[in-house]
Structure 1
Amino acid sequence: MSGSQQLNSRLKNFNAGDQYEIIDVVGEGAYGVVCSAIHRPTGQKVAIKKITPFDHSMFCLRTLREIKLLRYFNHENIISILDIVKPRTVEEFTEVYLIQELMETDMHRVIRTQDLSDDHCQYFIYQTLRALKAMHSANVLHRDLKPSNLLLNANCDLKICDFGLARSANFSDENSGFMTEYVATRWYRAPEIMLTFKEYTKAIDVWSVGCILAEMLSGKPLFPGRDYHHQLTLILDVLGTPTMEDFYGIKSRR
């Protein structure tokens, strides 16, 4: 099968409307596909994120949460939604198409393919912390910061994406931390989430940023745990064992 045939096969059910000319598939995830495209009326290059969330209530919640938050934020280091393609009829509303800024790559790909200079690391982490300050000032926890969620372009501009797990820092739900443990990416997960503390704070995002910075500098993950127990072992090997006060703060029987 030729390259064009493979592309046509992957885009067979990609219906973003007549205003957009699809160029290529730039990413795929558990419940969505991202394509680069051109907005025909303006010639602007954009990214179109197709989400098919309606098979699972959790995906619906994540999609709604991401749309609400990204429509709220207006920050140069947070990805923005330019438009949402409306379905022609209610019966055809089986997919969601988000039109977003087009970025060329992500931090995960960059780290895997090249060494970063200290100047690059400094500039990238500066932009990440600018975005984090904006989120935390709005009492929003991202909860899934990792290299693949830091989008980059050739000018070294950085934008944080994927707010499907984000939530208010004031949100109170005794099961929320428990659920996050099984969804958020383990290598960048703060210990208090793995230990299912009853409450956690904005510090969980700061932990993730620290792990990302270490990976930028070394070119490899700081705590690449194989499973839950191995992850904690790697962390304790570096940071030492917790104090008794911390120990008694652990509520999980596991």
Structure 2
Amino acid sequence: MKDFELRGGFEDIAQEFLCKRMATPVEPPNGVRSRRKHYFSMWQTLFEIDTKYVPIKPIGRGAYGIVCSSVNRETNEKVAIKKIHNAFENRVDALRTLRELKLLRHLRHENVIALKDVMLPTQKGSFKDVYLVYELMDTDLHQIIKSSQTLTNDHCQYFLFQTTKGPIVSYE
């Protein structure tokens, strides 16, 4: 009996761990389903995304939102979806989001992340969150800097060259 309880307890812990690591389907907040959207919970945050995207798991959290990896059902391409929560709550954040959209819509360079899509809300009257779809990258500069791998001078020169190359080309 005790062995069963331990196993059951482990399964509960494992399930809780998986739920925090993966996208979990949830009911729409208003109870009304849409053919164009489906709802997922990741890191206790509701994602309302187009049905053409299948969310996989959350991959990052920052000052401006949560990012999850997903797959585009139509192209089978892996993408990253960034949810900017309450994007219009204050003027500074709204302008920052608008600048990001305007810049990325026009920039096409191997050193600048590609904006693939912007998801529109089902009800424009309740438009408060912005969902931006980007190409999915293997890593980011923050992860490289924080990694335990020793960075040589050659590494640093390479990263500096690559990070300045994108803005220089966009300036031209």
Q: Partner of 2:124: helix, strand, or coil?
A: coil
Q: 2:65 aligns with which of 22, 32, 37?
A: 32
Say whether residues 1:14 and 2:47 are aligned partners: yes
In structure 2, C-alpha distance between the alignment counterparts of 1:4 and 1:17, rounded to whole Å: 23
Q: Structure 1 length as normaliser, TM-score? A: 0.50
Q: CA deviation at 1:124?
A: 2.0
Q: How does 1:102-141 map to 2 (within 5 A)?
A: 102-113=136-147, 114-137=149-172
Amino acid at match of 1:86: L
- Partner in structure 2 of residue 93 of structure 1: 127
Q: 2:101 aligns with which of 67, 90, 93?
A: 67
Q: CA deviation at 1:12?
A: 4.8
Q: Partner of 1:27: helix, strand, or coil?
A: strand
Q: 1:48 aligns with which of 50, 66, 81?
A: 81
- Find runs of 4+ consecutive structure 1 residues off by over 6 angstroms: none
Amino acid at match of 1:95: D
Q: CA deviation at 1:109?
A: 1.8
- Partner in structure 2 of residue 81 of structure 1: 115
Structure with the higher strand share, 1 or 2: 2
Q: Partner of 1:13: helix, strand, or coil?
A: strand
Q: CA deviation at 1:78?
A: 0.8
Q: Deviations over 1:72-97 (max 9, x none)?
A: 11111111211111112212322111
Amino acid at match of 1:48: I
Superposed CA RMSD in Å reads 1.8
- Partner in structure 1 of residue 31 of structure 2: none
In structure 2, C-alpha distance between the alignment counterparts of 1:11 and 1:60, rounded to whole Å: 23
Aligned residue pairs total: 137
Amino acid at match of 1:77: N
Q: Structure 1 vs Structure 2: percent identity of aligned residues?
A: 43
Q: Deviations over 1:51-87 (max 9, x none)?
A: 1212111111110011001111111111121111111
